[in-house]
Structure 1
């Protein structure tokens, strides 16, 4: 693992070169990703062990997702380079964020995990404050910062309590412990906010709407997965107490998923709709994790990967429209089929993946999560049925309102798109739909 970390560290000076550095960094990240894929072994234990770092199959999957999304962020943000908008600092922040996320997913020590988990907030905040669009980005930054920090300090205290009682804070050697509800709650609350769970989700739509495209991609693609990853890692410390209180989180997530799905249907802002749909998808992940059965844990991980690719692609699409028209409103962005017919295909493909159409990974993960939650309690069938129905409804709503109808008369000229944009969408869609052929990899990590 250290070789990957050092490769990225030595890329940082390349951010401040005068010429050709942008594509140099991007191509080197692709090379690093290729090296990681070669090292990706199909064993059940931890591989690449070195100096407190190690990867199992779950870490490998999320590390590869992080690298992939960071490469696509650089590809999507070419406007920052063309406008000379502090592109050196921008690339530097992306590499620092990548480094922190890789360290988070590969840490074996819980305190290291906590430090990297919290540190990843700082580059994200700087991306939103530095390259966001509206002045409201300062308020969005405060929301992001205080929601996350408010929940995270109790996690540190609970980790210290574990260190005192267990005498070891290593993921490999930690086992199940008896604890009361208070310790259990403060331990998982940071992850519930990060996912985010319904009731503590208000920071997410604000952060997404004000973030630049790169901020939205990394936020939807990877940072939401930190919560799910933390829960999956910590779950073996608290299996007994989770079996006792799991119904609470599953109930909140199911009802919350339905309410957020209904909220999606009355959104006008495209980015806001995609952000709320992320909360609805993550509520299914949360339900799957707390059922504590194999299907739930496997498919929660799979849903995290598939949602990371799908929502990131949808944010790219909404940004392409925003760059041309200057508005994210679906009232103004009607009739795109007349103006950008080639892009309509990608809107359709990614919207259909968002509503779990075959052959996307979303389909497999949603079927597995429904199976898992139904086996936990069959009366949740009604809520699951409604969540699935409304997820299809808001995906069709997003597609049909933006692509069909009479286009806004103020728009008199439109560039249909360039190769870079189609490549960007292609690189989101292909892994999302082709990885279903290797879906056994997502079930080897337990």
Structure 2
């Protein structure tokens, strides 16, 4: 911890944009590897350690942390306040790693809430439009309002059992009867987000800077799924009683969100609503309480984190050159960036679950897990997969073809931006080789 403090102080004292980036990357690598070694290598103590699931999400957080620092070189790190912008990104990565590393429910809750502060500061301080203040308030209102019942539930569980360590709670099997467990999990439903409590997500994505959008889509949405997977172990009785309603809302809401994507003209809004559809599948898989459902939830969270973060990075690259996220204005990219369009195509087909991406295998797992709950779930998921292919192809063809490129500023795609996109696409397809390892945590 002392090393973390000295690194942050050194970051604030360094001068020059390149120095900020180098110090930030070094901080993420050194501190992240140390924490990861403690988490994956075994329990450091009874409340801090890790297992395979938390280790996978820690690696995802660190990898996306490095990519969002590199992607922000021409954004928040290129003007005044670049040191503070880097400080917010590093604090956010640090909170995410600790959230996944704590084996104690209160430690997870604490850093789950602390992570909202830097992302709120990033949206309000470095957002693109004047509406960023309202978007930040929406996010804080939804998340903080939903987290109060979670805090009450955590304290009630501690008063009943005397411990909040996951393994002890799973062994003793205590829980909360009645509707208390629903109030306790509302915070995870909002963070995921579930349909009906998703309105904060599109506005936050549209107004956030590139690093904020990448970490929101890549890791923060996974916090809700991770929290649900942790509490399901000792709330299984209540889930069996009420889980059917949650699965219905998640899947039908995801289908509606997928259809809404076909009506969007803003590139960031389309990607944000696609995230709601994918996370609806994850919520359904978690609540299904099946082996395949839990496997698919983790695999799809990893695949969605890489794919959605890459799409937001691509949207920001177009925004920097056209000063607009409207697909009508951005259209015609094939004429200007024929090489870069290939990478846009590769990430877009991963968004629809095309092989050999990790997302495809996650959807297949979820299809098998949810079909055991009710055959109708399989039909709804098939509709979600169809519309995912429809809006992904529509987004690609609209952006690539056309003649809306007259507002182009003349700048070309540089090597750094190619590397950032490649950094998203490579693990999204290479992790298929180790898919059995991702599934061993159940």
Q: TM tier, shorter chain?
A: over 0.9
The partner residue of 2:428 within 415, 418, 432 is 432
Deviation at 1:331, TM superposition (A): 1.0
- 1:61 matches 2:56: yes
More displaced 10-residue stretch of structure 1: 77-86 or 432-441:
77-86
- 1:111 matches 2:111: no
Shift in CA distance, 31/158, structure 1 to aligned 2, threshold 3 Å: closer
Deviation at 1:40, TM superposition (A): 7.3
Question: Gaps (5+ residues) in structure 1?
Answer: none
- 1:306 matches 2:303: yes
- 1:226 matches 2:226: no
- 1:319 matches 2:316: yes
Shift in CA distance, 376/26, structure 1 to aligned 2, threshold 3 Å: same
Secondary structure, aligned partner of 1:402: helix
Secondary structure, aligned partner of 1:79: coil
More displaced 10-residue stretch of structure 1: 194-203 or 13-22:
13-22
Shift in CA distance, 338/390, structure 1 to aligned 2, threshold 3 Å: same
Question: Gaps (5+ residues) in structure 2?
Answer: none
- 1:11 matches 2:7: yes
Structure 2: distance between partners of 1:76 and 1:409: 25
Q: Aligned residue pairs: how many?
A: 437
Structure 2: distance between partners of 1:168 and 1:341: 58
Secondary structure, aligned partner of 1:156: helix
What is the Cα-based RMSD across aligned positions, in Å? 1.7
Q: Cα deviation per residue 1:238-268 (whole Å; 9 max; x = unaligned)?
A: 0111111110110001110110001000100
Deviation at 1:180, TM superposition (A): 2.5
* Residue in 2 that maps onto 1:128: 123
In the alignment, is the contact (CA less than 8 A) between 2:258 and 2:274 conserved in 1? yes
- 1:356 matches 2:353: yes
Secondary structure, aligned partner of 1:49: coil
- 1:142 matches 2:142: no
Q: Aligned runs of 1:219-298 on 2, under 5 Å?
A: 219-298=216-295
Structure 2 length-normalised TM: 0.95
Deviation at 1:25, TM superposition (A): 2.2
* Residue in 1 that maps onto 2:374: 377
Structure 1 length-normalised TM: 0.94
Shift in CA distance, 431/40, structure 1 to aligned 2, threshold 3 Å: farther
Structure 1: distance between partners of 2:257 and 2:3: 41
More displaced 10-residue stretch of structure 1: 177-186 or 187-196:
177-186
Q: Cα deviation per residue 1:14-63 (whole Å; 9 max; x = unaligned)?
A: 3221242322321442355556666775xxxx814237311111111111
- 1:87 matches 2:85: no
- 1:75 matches 2:74: no
In the alignment, is the contact (CA less than 8 A) between 1:15 and 1:89 conserved in 2? no
In the alignment, is the contact (CA less than 8 A) between 1:15 and 1:22 conserved in 2? no
More displaced 10-residue stretch of structure 1: 277-286 or 112-121:
112-121
The partner residue of 1:346 within 343, 346, 354 is 343
The partner residue of 2:441 within 427, 439, 445 is 445
Secondary structure, aligned partner of 1:343: helix
* Residue in 2 that maps onto 1:50: 45
- 1:191 matches 2:188: yes
Deviation at 1:341, TM superposition (A): 1.1
In the alignment, is the contact (CA less than 8 A) between 1:54 and 1:108 conserved in 2? yes
In the alignment, is the contact (CA less than 8 A) between 2:76 and 2:126 conserved in 1? no
Structure 1: distance between partners of 2:94 and 2:192: 20
Shift in CA distance, 238/110, structure 1 to aligned 2, threshold 3 Å: same
Q: Cα deviation per residue 1:382-432 (whole Å; 9 max; x = unaligned)?
A: 211111100001110110100012234344x53330000000001111011
In the alignment, is the contact (CA less than 8 A) between 1:253 and 1:283 conserved in 2? yes
